[in-house]
Chain A
């Protein structure tokens, strides 16, 4: 298929539109965040041209916000790059999950997917496709979500860059971005382990806030992962597995094999009497 035909078929796929609808709610918060980032870039001393360039080429809100004060203060290049690398480390973790879905695509596409992926699209995608298996509708879905996200960010960001001196930051408009992330976060909470992991992450992030290079994010991730695994282990310990009678010659279906491996079930094979 030619490139144009390929693009057309992606755009027309129903998953593309479904993704746009899924991302509609968060787009407002992302827009607020983009707007604030645009304003901050220009107010910190970046020229309008450079700010536009940064917004289009980097497309990473938290990294941009972390690095702009450093660039304004004339920090050396390696400090700027190291800071961005640390702030972005959570994306390295996310990419191990992206691999399960997109490993079969050519390298250039995988890199393009990389440019477009972010916190919100990661969470939405994982909720839509919880099984880490590649499926054909995932690629159009990703592009639908990526396009929506990209526009929702870049357009307000450009507005912020151009109108930096007119937008009143003192109104706290950036808080809408925090609320959007809050909404996404709440959608991930469903059991005791997730609530506790969140509490631990919040405590760790605040306690370690003084660490440079936004390393508090990594500390929070490590603490939350540890707590999550601990709670899972404790709950497993308390659970009593089901005992299931299995006929003498039957083979276990894969679903049951998985339950046995996870410790939820103990198969008891019936004796065969001649």
Chain B
């Protein structure tokens, strides 16, 4: 009988518990945990920062280093996508415009 699957299954169950608890953390206690006012105001910037922190390395880094050349397909793609967003304010269009610039440069020119 092969028991190899137990270790990853346990790891995954643990991950599930960790994820639900993180996401529901402040909702779990019955009474509100007091947060200072400045912290509540400051935390408005947290989602902004989290999103930026996730995508900035994906756009401006390669192999763990800041990119050194302008000939990277991601840069014009992000610029065009940003421009489109402030023109039309649609997320789907932003994705389409960005990919329309990115794919030819990345697959075609190897940028």
Do chains A and B stick together as partners? yes
B21 to chain A: closest CB distance in Å?
A: 7
Q: A71-B8, A94-B46 are in contact. Are A179 and B27 (CB under 8 A)?
A: no
CA–CA, A185 and B66, complex, Å:
21
Question: Looking at chain A's contact residues, is the secondary structure mostly helix, strand, loop, or mixed?
Answer: helix
When the two chains form their complex, are residues B46 and A172 in contact, meaning their CB atoms are under 8 A apart? no
When the two chains form their complex, are residues A224 and B24 in contact, meaning their CB atoms are under 8 A apart? no
When the two chains form their complex, are residues B48 and A111 in contact, meaning their CB atoms are under 8 A apart? no
**Set A91, A99, A197, A232: member contacting B48, Cβ < 8 A:** A197
When the two chains form their complex, are residues A50 and B5 in contact, meaning their CB atoms are under 8 A apart? yes
**Set A85, A111, A188: member contacting B20, Cβ < 8 A:** A111
Which residues of A have CB within 8 Å of B23? 88, 91-92, 94-95, 114-115, 117-118
Interface contact tally, CB-CB below 8 A: 269
Q: A92-B25, A185-B51, A198-B52 are in contact. Are A81 and B14 (CB under 8 A)?
A: yes
Q: A96-B35, A216-B53 are in contact. Are A175 and B102 (CB under 8 A)?
A: yes
Residue of B at shortest CB range from A199? B52
Q: Does B49 contact A (CB under 8 A)?
A: yes
When the two chains form their complex, are residues B27 and A102 in contact, meaning their CB atoms are under 8 A apart? yes
Q: Does A89 contact B (CB under 8 A)?
A: yes
**Set A110, A194, A220, A225: member contacting B28, Cβ < 8 A:** A110
Q: Does A180 contact B (CB under 8 A)?
A: yes
Q: Does A123 contact B (CB under 8 A)?
A: yes
CA–CA, A13 and B13, complex, Å:
34
Q: A25-B92, A220-B53, A225-B43 are in contact. Are A99 and B32 (CB under 8 A)?
A: yes
B41 to chain A: closest CB distance in Å?
A: 7
CA–CA, A205 and B57, complex, Å:
7
CA–CA, A89 and B60, complex, Å:
23
Residue of B at shortest CB range from A231? B45
Which residues A37-91 have CB closer than 8 A to chain B? 46-47, 49-50, 53-54, 57-60, 62-64, 67, 71, 77, 80-81, 84-85, 88-91
Which residues of A have CB within 8 Å of B85? 182-183, 186-187
When the two chains form their complex, are residues B95 and A183 in contact, meaning their CB atoms are under 8 A apart? yes
B67 to chain A: closest CB distance in Å?
A: 10
Residues 207-232 of chain A: 1 if any B CB is under 8 Å from the residue's CB, otherwise 0? 00110000011011101111111001
CA–CA, A64 and B19, complex, Å:
10
Residues 1-42 of chain B: 1 if any A CB is under 8 Å from the residue's CB, otherwise 0? 000010111111111101111111111100010010010111
B24 to chain A: closest CB distance in Å?
A: 3
Query: What are some 23 contacts across the A-B interface (CB < 8 A)?
Result: A25-B92, A29-B91, A32-B95, A57-B16, A71-B8, A81-B14, A89-B22, A102-B27, A111-B27, A111-B28, A114-B21, A119-B51, A175-B98, A175-B106, A179-B95, A182-B78, A183-B85, A185-B55, A186-B94, A187-B91, A193-B45, A202-B53, A224-B49
Other than the given A50-B8, A95-B27, A223-B49, 19 more pairs (CB < 8 A) read: A50-B9, A59-B19, A77-B7, A77-B14, A85-B18, A94-B47, A102-B27, A103-B32, A115-B23, A117-B23, A171-B103, A171-B106, A175-B106, A187-B85, A187-B89, A188-B51, A202-B53, A216-B53, A224-B46
